[in-house]
Amino acid sequence: MPDEPPVNAEGAAFFRSDEEGRPRELNNRHDWKGNADYFQWKVAPLTDGPKPEVIASPHREVRRFMRKVYQAMERTNPKPVRAVPKPIGKKPKAMPAPPPDAPVPCPRCFGQGLPWCDLCTGDGFVSPREARGFLEQHD
Ligand SMILES: [Zn+2]
């Protein structure tokens, strides 16, 4: 049916109900799937917890009602509706290890590069060999 495009939506909702003056938090995940034949609403805990429950109906009035809710969500969304970017499959590469001869912070002035430092002469960095030599003398 052209007036019933499929609905595929999932997300979380944070409700507060009032049970005769006693407020109660209802925080759940929701997963909607609807087409021209049925509407299914899955309710699940946000993280670990009881197993999800599925409520489904083939009734036209239910499908229309849920579609109206979905359209109202689109209309009242404060931000323009946009596609959620797909997660990138690859993990970003870890930083490569520095080469073994890369300069290290000066152990004499603790990398501060002080002008009086006779090990790094104010650079703040020395070669690993120079650093090892200094540390061996000052152990
Ligand atoms: Zn230094």
Query: pLDDT (tens digit, 9 = 90+) per residue, 88-132?
Result: 777 767 777 777 788 888 999 888 888 889 998 998 999 989 999
Alpha helices in the chain (DSSP H): 60-76, 128-137
The neighbouring-strand residues paired with 16 are 25
Residues 35, 89: Cα–Cα separation, whole Å: 30
Contact 35, 6 (CB under 8 A): yes
Does the reported pTM lie above 0.75? no
Distance 96 CA to ligand 1 centre (A): 26
Please count the residues of the chain: 139
Residues near ligand 1 ion, CB 5 Å cutoff: 106, 108-109, 117, 119-120
Tell me, rounded to whole angstroms, the distance of Cα 74 from its chain centroid: 23
Q: How far is the CA of 115 from the centre of ligand 1 (A)?
A: 8
Q: What integer pLDDT is reported at residue 80 of this predicted model?
A: 66
